[in-house]
Amino acid sequence: MAVNRRKLKLGIAMSAVAIVALGVGIGTANAGTRGPWHSDKPHKSAPATTSPTKASPAVTSPAPSATTPKPATSASATTVASTSASATTGVKPAAWTPPPANATFDYQIGGAYTPPSGVTVVSRDSGAAPAAGLYNVCYVNAFQAQPGDESWWKTNHNDLLLHDAKGNLVIDEDWNEIMLDFSTEAKRTALTTIVGGWIDQCATKGFQAVEPDNLDSYTRSKGLLTQAQAIAYATSLATRAHAKGLAIGQKNTAELSSANAKKIGFDFAVAEECADFDECGAYTASYGNNVIVIEYSKSGFTKACSGYGSRLSVVLRDVDVTTPGSKSYVYQAC
């Protein structure tokens, strides 16, 4: 299911702490973000009840569909995989294009529904079907074990879960998720095979792009993972996505330099609460107007619309990214 991460304000954070105090070990699924690299750690909240269920990870990648649709675009707007990627994979590179800049966007990782009128770009969990006729971004939890999939990882790929010197699993305390171990080239290759299979499924379903979450997990790894290792792993995922004709977006991680973003091969960014935390400029420095902004507070949304609404895709969503009919559902675009 969708991770549904979110960054919380202090008042909401205290509520989440109270929940944890009452029931230690309760797993949650929150709106897809993290606290900024320079801030205090965020807290989790109860999962959205409307979140779709994602099938257990597949060890092998499904055969790609020969009829996978590609986004319509002009030749000048299309990005083509590099010759180095072709030489590495032995596969002729496919064409891809990032989401159109300043398009009306909806963030549906907490549950798929008919997009509001005027929406032309939507992001959905990899377990959902893409929205017909729109540009679709596929959400994948690529750097940490998806809640609910822990037993699958432990049984099939325990060696790809991050362990400390005592052999204990390293848990991302922000999100209560087991971290994946991408510390060596061999492990990055193995993880790319697994996560790459999910990326292949996104392409087969008809998505046009993918957003791999938790790039910044190395910052919460207790020093066991490095940014250089995360960059190397992200680069392999970008190569996989491009080979399937998918654009790939940088998910959060404002501290990633433009040089490293280019090195990885990211085509656009999905930035949560960048206006609220004064981070939007870090993304536009790397991607120009190819940035999707999701805000979870009215003040952050107003700030984002005022500063970037004429150039970027900006949307206000409820923190649990619920579906219409939910009492907490919020959607607004500028």
| b/e map 164-178, b = 16+ CB within 10 Å | eeeeebbbbebbbbb
3-class SS at 209?
strand
Q: Parallel, antiparallel, or unpaired: how do β-strands 209-213 and 105-108 relate?
A: unpaired
- Please identify, in words, the CATH class of the domain defined by 10-333: alpha beta
* Mean pLDDT across 12-25: 35
Note the pLDDT of residue 174. Answer: 79
More confident residue, 240 or 65: 240
Residue spans of the domains in the chain: they are: 10-333
Q: What is the pLDDT of residue 260?
A: 98
**Residue 80 pLDDT > 50:** no
Asked if 235 and 189 count as a contact pair (C-beta separation under 8 A), the reply is no
Pairing of strands 79-80, 95-96: antiparallel
State the pLDDT at residue 107: 98
CA-nearest of 195, 136, 178, 149 to 1 is 149
Q: Residue 275 pLDDT more than 70?
A: yes
Per-residue pLDDT reduced to its tens digit, 21-78? 333 332 323 344 333 322 333 323 333 333 333 333 443 333 333 333 333 333 334 4
Distance (Å, whole) CA 102 – CA 312:
4
Q: In percent, how much of the chain has pLDDT > 70? A: 72
Taking residues 307-324, report their average pLDDT. Answer: 97
Q: How confident is the model at residue 278 (pLDDT cuts 50, 70, 90)?
A: very high
Mind listing the pLDDT tens digit for each residue in 103-159?
A: 999 999 999 999 999 999 999 999 999 999 999 999 999 999 988 999 999 999 999
Q: Has residue 255 got a pLDDT over 70?
A: yes
pTM above 0.85, yes or no: no
Q: Across-strand partners of 139? A: 125, 211
d(CA 233, CA 215): 9
Alpha-carbon gap, residue 167 to 144, rounded angstroms: 17
List the one residue out of 169, 146, 171, 176 whose CA is nearest residue 16.
176
At 299, which helix (H) or strand (E)?
helix 298-308
- The pLDDT assigned to 94 comes to 67
Count of residues in the chain = 334
Evaluated on CA atoms 266, 176, 300, 218, the torsion sign reads negative
pLDDT at residue number 93: 52
Give the pLDDT confidence score for residue 39 in this predicted structure. Answer: 31
pLDDT band at 263 (very low <50, low <70, confident <90, very high): very high
Which band of pLDDT confidence, cut at 50, 70 and 90, is reported for residue 160? very high
Give me the phi and psi of 199, to 5 degrees please. Answer: -65, -40
pLDDT at 171: 96
Question: Structure tokens of 311?
Answer: 């150039």
Are 258 and 285 in contact by the 8 Å Cβ rule? The answer is: yes
Answer for the pair 324, 50: CB distance below 8 angstroms, yes or no. no
Residues 187, 173: Cα–Cα separation, whole Å: 23
**Tokens matching residue 101:** 């800049």
CB count in 10 Å sphere of residue 330: 16
pLDDT-derived band of residue 173, with 50, 70 and 90 as boundaries? confident
pLDDT at 327: 96
**Does the pLDDT value for residue 256 go beyond 80?**
yes
